[in-house]
Structure formats: C-alpha cells, structure tokens
A and B are shown apart, each in its own frame.
Chain A
Amino acid sequence: MKSRGFIITSLASVVAAGGLGVGGYYWSVAHVQRWTGMDHLGFVNCNHCHLVRVEKLPWAKERPRHPAPAGLAVSPDGRRLYIALDDVNEVAEADTATLQVNRRIKLAGGPYGLLAHPQDGRLFVTLRHADAVVELEPGRLTEVARIPVGKGPVCLAYTRTEAGERLIVANSLSDDASLLSLSPLAEIARPHTGREPFATAMSADGSVAFVVGRIAETKDFVTPAASELTLIRAATGRVLKRVPLESAHLAEGLATVASRGWALTPLVKVRNLIPITQVANGWVMSSGLGITLADGQTVQVPLDEANDYFADPSGIAVDPAGRYAYVVSGGSDAVSVVDLERLSDWLSKACELTRREAVDDLSLSAEYVVARLRTGRNPRAVTLSPDGRRLFVGERLADRVLVVDTATREPVGHVVLGDGGAWDPIRRGESVFTKAAHTFQSQFSCRSCHPDGHVDGLAYDFDGDGIGDNLLDNRSLHGLASTAPFKWIGSNPSVEVQCGPRFARVLMRTDPIPPDDLKDLATYLQSLPPTGWERRRDLALTPTQERGRQLFFATTRPDGTPIPRERQCQTCHRPPLFTARIPTAVGTRGPRDATELFDTPHLLGIGYSAPYLHDGRAKTLEELWTTYQTNDLHGVSSYWSKHQLNDLIEYLKTL
C-alpha cells in the first residue's frame, strides 16, 4: 500500500510537473511574443529581458590590478627611469644602473604617457582616465601643476618654439590633440586629429608636432581605410597637413629622426577589402613602418618577413645618432632593430614604383632589419637613455621593464615591478588576447583587430560563408558580458564558441586556442567594461539627454498613436545592457547578405564604436535613422524632428 501510494504520488507529481512545464513553455512563448510584438519568436530565456543586473556583471566588479608598465621616460642625466603604471595609479622611479625601483608614488587617474623635460627633468604625466596632464617636480615627484586636456590623453611630446616651450598631447578618446604652453601650463589649442590619436613626436627643429591616429577613417567598403598623421605648427596649434597613411592603421608610435628629417611610425597594413581566404603572404595584415620624409613624401616599408610576422607594432625609439630605430611588437614579443642607414640607402636607390610597392614585398625587411630581440610578454612602450646605450622596453603583461645594451643587443636585466599576474585568470586571458602565436605565422593577434578590446572601425569579408558575401563590421568587445549570442547573425552562443574552433578555421588558420587558454580568454573579455564606462556612470542626464531618453523609451507618438512593440527601441535594446539579445530584422539586409535577421548589439559605449550596422555602412549614429532607415523598421523615427534625432544621439552617447 505504501509503495503504491508512493508510485501514484510520484506519477501525479511527474504529470503535474510536465503540465506545468508545458504550460510554462507556452505561456513564456506567448509572453515574449506579446511584449516584443514578434510573432516569429519561440522560447526565449527570461534573462534576455529580465534579471540582468549590471552590478553582477564581471566588468562591474573590482578586478585585480597589476603594475603593468605604460609610458616610459628617462631623466636627462640618464640615471632614473620613470614608469607609468596606469592600472595601479602609480608612477615608479627606478635606478637605471641597479635596475631597482627607488620609489612609487600614487597618482590617481590612470597615469599613462610620460615625458621628462630635457633640461630640468620635470615630469609630465597624462592621466588617461582623468583627462588631464600633471606636472611633477623631479625631486619629490610632487604635483606642481595640472591642466585639463581632451579625453583619454595617452602620449605627449615636448619642444621649444620661438613662441615658448610646448607640449603636444594625444587625446585618444576625443580625437584631438592638446597644445600646451609650459609657462604657465595652459592649453593653447585643441586641433582635431585622426581617430584615436595615440602617439606624438616633434620635428627636429621643434617647429612641427606630429600626432598619429590609431584607427583608420573609412569612407566606404571600396576605399582603403587610412590612419591619419597630423602635422601641427607647434608654436600656435595651426594644422599644417593631414597625411593619410595609405591603407594602414593601428599606428601607435611615432619618432622623429633628427639627422634625416624623418618621422617614423609603426603601422599595420590591414587588408580588410580582400576576402579572407588565407592568412599566408600577409593576406589579413602585415606590419610596416611609415616614413615621412623631409620633403613630405611618405613611404611605407615592411617590418615583417616572408614567413614570420611581428604583430601589433607599437612603441618606437630612435637613437640619438639616428642610426637605429627600435620597434616593439606587442603580439610577437619582439623588438625589431632597424638600421636607418641601410634603410636610407635602399630608399635612395628605389624608384618610384619600388617605393610604392615596398610595403607589400615581404622579403624586403631583410635589407634593413638587422636584429630581432626577444622580450617578455606584450612589449608596448620603449625608450632609450639619452646616450642611446640602454634600451628600455615595457613588458606590459610581465609587469617589468626589459633593459638592453644597445651595443651588444643583449639584455642586461629587468626592472621588476610585479609578479606578472599569472595567478589572475583575467591577466592570463589578456595574454592570450595579445599573443599572435595563435595565428598562422604569428601574423596577428586578437588585439590586432580589437585594439584594447575595442573596434578598429573596419568591416571584413570572411570567406567561410561565401566570397564577397556577408560583410561584417568589427564589433567592440567592450561590455560583452551577458550579451550572448555572438557574431552578427547570432549563431555563436558563447565567447568560447565565438573564439573556438570555427574562428581557428576561418581566421586564425591554425589550431584552436587550447581549452584552458580559451577559458581565460573568455574571462578576460567578460571583464572589459563598456568604453568610457567609468566616466559616464554617475553623471546625471542633461535636459537634452533626458529628452533623448524619453524618445528612446517612447511607446506612443506625440499624437498618441501607439508605436508597435516590435518597433519600440526598448524592445530590442532593453536595458540595462540595451539588448534583448534577439536577432531582429531592421531593414538593413544588403544584396549579399544571407539573412535579414541580425543580432541586436548592446548599446553600452555605442558612441565610441563607429561605424554601425552589421556591415559598418552607417558611419555615424545619425545615419541609422537618416540614410539607412527603411520604413521605420529600425524603430519608428519618421515622426522625429531634427531636434529629436539630435537629442536621441546625445542620450545614446551617455550609455
């Protein structure tokens, strides 16, 4: 009797549970269809629209910090090395002879770029998150002056002009440069530069400031993108010339060669217009060196070799004699030593055609690259001692600075700042992210297309789904936690799948990333906050932004006509992540697209991730509702005035 009762009860429970389950399933489908207005949707997890709390996301939580070297500067007497440690808000001072850290001072705001005054050794530091430049007196390293500049300052250079001393600061987030006078420390001008200016240098005579942009500016999908080298009159801030670095981007370093009148910038030759059918022969990208000659002409030459690549070139330093340039490759953990004499010799013999095609000749670098020095993980910044005898290379993911004897090209030791953070999965993941060894011949790393996890502003043609079909805009990885699925058609349910074997097959063209590394990579990516998150999150909305917010959440037109649920912004772009993670048709299917349904991107940091739409056709946010709006399919906007559109844009920029 007892067992029979048990069986009956169990059966009844199972039936009840089954009924509940089935009922719940149909209820949830009806619920989703009702509240989205999309009848084609089936079962959707509740957490697409509910239960997401920003504070629970990985990027919203405090993460381990590491003394990763950013900018480097050497005192005029060569005895002290200064190291900016942006992640821990410190500046370290080390003895160049003993390689010991003398002291570390706290400096809030993300110290990133460093410069030591060539005469008196005053230290100027850019605060990347605080949007300021501070002056530290060299004795006690105390702050003596501070000046607000543009957003995200990362690099600065010094010169003396007929009008006084000047600093030029690259403001990576506001796409401009700040020209400062030193006495007093004040901003004289803020000329626009290329997108994401990342490096600065001064001409030998001090009259011209160079600023190079990291991200290329694109026009359409047939015109090669080009980063910009901006030439600015150092005395006044007048823009002299904007030099497009033809078909090149990710320029993160600049140096001038006084004796030759050259400006050198490492760059990446991306080949995004060509279907990615292979990686060999620099098919996806290759690294090079842009040379702006004294007569204003530019020539690009390769840094890579025919069967080996030196991915993610960034910092560059030139010795005082102008004989050697040292270019770091963050993805390949190497420093390339370029003999400028041999390079000059080659240039003098090269005809116009040879110069024009030089950067595509992968066998050319053997003419002038005389050595490749191995470094620790992810070298980014580099500087030389004033006498040129010591090369200092910041190994960003090893928490130390490599010191090299330039005469022997042998390492003499390290300035150790930390333990390298191998215990931290986020750190390990960043190491995977920046390592080019995961791709064929180490041609590129994840970072090569996603600098600092963000966008490169380009669209690509992957061949996996047909040559010439389904062009794909490069999406930012910032803030991607809990925004699965991934890929523009939403077919990859997780970061691990997105970066897993398929990616290895169609892009990396090697083995998949090993499982443990893949897990760390996913951890790292999910730790990336939305771009500029720290700046915006506590700010109250202005009246303009509030009007835009109301427009975003509007459920009716001004005349009271209801806006269909499936066309309301908040349906697909549901807060707090501003995505319901449901593939949707917004009328943007192109003639070569296989589908009209595209994954709904989250909108956090959207103001920084141009261009837009799945193939990057919209260059600005405005174009989403002007040029590329079709029949109100991407939200009902036909009743908007220009005021309202502008208000909405201002609101979106606050996300």
Chain B
Amino acid sequence: MEARRLLLIGRWLPLTAAFAILSGCGRARLPAEALVFTQTPVTSPSNPGADTVLDERYPPGSRVVLLPSPQDPERLRVLSKGLLAAGSPVISADGTRVLFAGKASARDDWQIYEARLPGGRPRRLTAISGGAMDPAVLGNGAVVFSSPVPPAGATWTTTNPAALYRLNPDRSLLRLTWGPAAAVEPTVLNDGRILFVSAKPRGADGEISLGLFTINNDGTEVAAYALDRDGALWVHRPRELQDGRVGFLAATPTGFVAEGVQTARPFAGRRALFPFSAESCRSVEPGGAGRVLATLLPSLGTTNRSFAVFELAASATAPGEPLFDDPAWHDLEAMRPGTRPRPLGHLSTMSAKKDYGTLLCLNVNFSRHRQADGSPARTATRVRVTALDDQGAQRVLGELPVHPDGSFMAELPADRPLGFESLDADGELIYRLPPTIWVRAGENRSCVGCHEPPNRSPRNVRPKAVYEPVARLRLANPDLASTVP
C-alpha cells in the first residue's frame, strides 16, 4: 500500500513541478536588466476613432511587454496577449505581477488586467461600468485605479469626472476620491500615500490648472503635494524616483517634457528633470542605482522617430544611446520588474458607523498673505462651510464662529466636496476654497491654516476649538435654496 502511494505521488510529481514553474511559484527570477514597457505601433500614431483618452493614448495594437534582456529583443514576451490594446503597466512591489489597462475588443470598456511575471495570460480584475485606467499597486497588493475612462480630450471637462478607486484583494471596491474634478494617474509613494493628478479650483480666468495631490490608501487626508503656484498647466504621470525627486510629464505645445520636484521641498524648485532637452518624453520611472528610466523621443535631427527607452543618471547631459529601441514601435512607460521597495501601508481610521468626518482648523487666519509682522491682512471671525449636493449644486451647510486664536472645528458630511469661506467681522469674504476637499466617514482631519504656506507644520499651541462642543453641520434640506457665492 505504501509503495502504491509513493508511485502515485511520483507520477504526478513532474506535472506538479511543471505547473509550479509555469505558474511562477517556482519561477526563475528575472534578470536585473529586464524591462516591462508599453509598445504602441509607430505606423498608426493617432487613432481618429478614439472614443476615450486611452483609445487616444493606446491605439489598437498597443501592448504591454516584458523584455528579459534589452540586448536580446528576440526574447520579448507580450504580457497583454489577446487584448486589442493595452498600456499603463505597473509592477507589484513583490515583482510577481504586472497590472495594466487593457481593452479586450473595440466594443469593450477599458479595464484593469493583471499578468503574472515572467509571463502569464492576462486576467481581468475590474468590471466597472465606464471602464478603468491608470492602475497602481498598494503595498498590500490592493489595486488603485481611476474610473470612468473619460472621453478623448475631456478628462477635465466631462460632467462625469474620473475618481480613484481601490480594489481590495477580496475584490471589494472602495471609492477613494470625492472631489469635483477628475482624479487620475495615481502612483503609490514609498510612504504609502497615493499621489495623483487632479485639477485645482479654477481661478478667476476659469483656466484649468493641474496639480499633484495625495491621499491615504483609504481616501483620507487629501492634500496638495506639489505644483500649487508655479504655473504648471498640464501634468501627467507622476512617479517617485529614487533620487529624492518626484518626476512627471509637463505638457508643451509639441509634446511632453520631463520635470520634477524635490520631495524635500515639493512646492519649490520645480525644474527640468534632465539637463538636456528631448523633443518629447512619455514616461519617467525609477531605474537602477538612483538612475531614471525614461522613454524619450530624441530631439529633431535624428533619424529615429520612435520613442525609445533610456536609462539616465540625473546629471546626464545627453540621452546617449537608448537602452532599447524598436523602430517599429514607440517604446513607452518602461520600468524594471523585480522586487522594489514595498510601500508602507496605512491602517484606516474610517468608521463605518459614522456618516461624517471632523475637521479641525488650527488658525484660519494663518495664510500666505500676511503683514510683515505675521499678522493677517484681514481677520476672519466666521467661516462659512459649503458643499456640493448630489446634483452638484453648491449649498451652504452653515457658518461657524472662529475662536480668538483662529481655530474652529466641525463635523461635516463625509464623501462629498466641501468648501470653506473665511469671513471678516463685516461678513465680507476673505478667502474662498470652493468645494474641493472632502472628509471620509470617521476621519479626523486637521489643517494648519487657510491658504497657508505649504509644507508647514503646526505651532505647538492648544487650539481653543477643542474645548468647545464640536459644531455639527449636515447637508441642508435640498428644498432650501442653494447659494452661489
């Protein structure tokens, strides 16, 4: 009996081993120089029938590939096999999975797919109405993406702006962002926050201006990260590099250039990522040993008119020879697989029992616009809180008195855009933040001031607002008149 058992095991052993190897459990590690990137056909640079921004970006035939060695293009493997188009790859922290946006057929929505490395069939993860794009991966393997996929050219004008979502390992879905503008192109920072692109409140000129924002992995603590007042108009694809910078693409009339801000002072020192100029850049990613992987279209004058993959030191004065270039394809969005620093996690402070969050402002009169001695130009004595209702109309939730030290605290409805207006003693408006930020259910949120200088930590002063019962503001009766400030 024992011998029969052993024989049975022995018969199945090779198959088991093969399965394990093929499934990646006992996978061979990818070499350090391996690349994952997107290829879009050079011969169909535009897609006139593009319905969505992804159709525009990734025309049919676009694919996500793995190249184990840039010196051996024959070994290139298509990870998005079977899909009409694919792009926007991102690699999990453990280096075992690639996630990307893909479209099965012309009539399907773009959804998020994953494929196991070093090579497996793509598997659809999302089935969200309107489609999904821009995947990113949290430290615990949960996937962050943006949905719906906006119509081509309408990311910032569509009436159904994209929001960020989190797909948990158990397949539950959590919406993360609740602002009025689209939230797209997320990436996960090493500290666990999600960095994404969104639009700032429009100025008096009505122009759209984009910036970089962060949230925690549960959508709490929405905050501006960079590009607040330095004129950045259109930005894409932010990525945390390993050299103390966050790189991104900034639009020019002819294409995109690579720029970056220092993580040490993200609101200052925005500058070109490279000392040289390329005609266009389609991505920057962290490379090895503090270098940057960039996909560039070299400057005019070269014969090569396709994007290629370059690996550059920060001080590189010229792109040099590409790491990989297939002239038949635009080689874009290149990154290295293999284990990368696992982003930190964040245990959520949300509470399912609540439908509100609490906001504490330490000093509404602490702002960028002050007199030489630091006192405010005008002193706020009240704060009016506004919110967008479910129809998108702005409503006044109420007015709060501001304590003598400028502090106020209020419970505010969760998961809807909130705005704040500071008012002086005569009721005149001082500063306005249109409904832009939000609080999550159970979140305790704090601000240093109102339009305060960026990256300011608070003074160690006990806010008087904590000594008083917290004001409770709820969305007013929808029959009440809305207000347009």
Contact = CB atoms under 8 A, between A and B. Distances in A.
Size bracket, chain A contacts: 35 or more
A306 B445 CA distance: 19
Contact of A281 (B191, B267, B374, B455): B455
A511 interface: yes
A275 B455 contact: no
Nearest to B462: A273
A274 B358 CA distance: 15
B444 A308 contact: no
Contact of A272 (B269, B456, B460): B460
B335 interface: no
A189 interface: no
Given A224-B461, A274-B461, A306 B409 contact: no
Interface stretch (A80-88, A413-421, A460-468, A630-638): A460-468
B459 interface: yes
A357 B264 contact: no
Contacts of B409: 467
Interface residues of B, number: 46
Interface in B432-485: 444-446, 448, 453-463, 466-467, 470
Nearest to A359: B457
A286 B444 contact: no
Interface centre among A306, A366, A468, A504 (most CB of B within 10 A): A306
Interface string A342-363: 0000000001110011001111
Contacts of B25: none
Contact of B263 (A224, A306, A361): A306
Interface centre among A224, A280, A506 (most CB of B within 10 A): A280
Contacts of A364: 265
A283 B191 contact: no
Nearest to A226: B460
Contacts of A360: 456-459
Given A278-B221, A306-B455, A221 B462 contact: yes
B130 interface: no
A282 B444 contact: no
A352 B374 CA distance: 10
Interface stretch (B110-118, B146-154, B199-207, B340-348): B340-348
Interface in B343-401: 344-349, 358, 360, 362, 370, 372-374
Nearest to B448: A281
Interface in A271-315: 271-275, 277-278, 280-283, 286, 305-308
A504 B347 contact: yes
B462 A467 contact: no
A269 interface: yes
Q: A-side binding surface: helix, strand, loop or mixed?
A: loop
Nearest to A502: B347
Nearest to A503: B347
Contact of B344 (A277, A363, A511): A511
A556 to B, nearest CB: 44
A353 B366 CA distance: 13
A221 B461 CA distance: 10
Contacts of B362: 274
A510 interface: yes
Contacts of B448: 281
B319 interface: no
Contacts of A501: 347
A294 to B, nearest CB: 25
Contacts of B349: 464, 505-506
B262 interface: yes
A361 B461 contact: no
Contacts of A366: 262, 264-265, 268-269
A104 interface: no
B59 interface: no
Given A363-B268, A365-B264, A467-B466, A278 B446 contact: yes
B266 interface: yes
Interface string A502-525: 001110011110000000000000
Contacts of B461: 224, 273-274
A509 B360 CA distance: 18
A362 B457 contact: yes
Interface in A485-544: 501, 504-506, 509-512
A307 B224 CA distance: 13
A441 interface: yes
Contacts of B221: 278, 280
A307 B191 contact: yes
Contacts of A224: 460-461
B70 interface: no
A273 B347 contact: no
A282 B266 contact: no
Interface string A428-467: 0000000000001100000000000000000001011001
A144 interface: no
B223 interface: yes
B264 A307 contact: yes
A406 interface: no
A270 interface: yes
Interface in A173-230: 221-222, 224
Interface centre among B216, B458, B467 (most CB of A within 10 A): B458
A118 B333 CA distance: 60
Given A360-B456, A363-B455, A511-B344, A222 B264 contact: no
B192 interface: yes
B358 A467 contact: yes
Contacts of A363: 264-268, 454-455
Interface centre among A353, A440, A467 (most CB of B within 10 A): A467
A352 B372 CA distance: 9
Interface in A376-427: none
A179 B453 CA distance: 46
23 contacts: A270-B460, A274-B463, A275-B463, A278-B446, A281-B448, A282-B458, A305-B264, A306-B264, A307-B264, A352-B373, A356-B374, A360-B458, A361-B455, A363-B264, A364-B265, A366-B265, A366-B268, A461-B466, A463-B444, A467-B466, A468-B467, A511-B344, A511-B346
Rank and list the top 6 A-B pairs by shortest CB-CB distance, nearest first: A282-B457, A468-B466, A363-B265, A511-B345, A305-B264, A505-B347
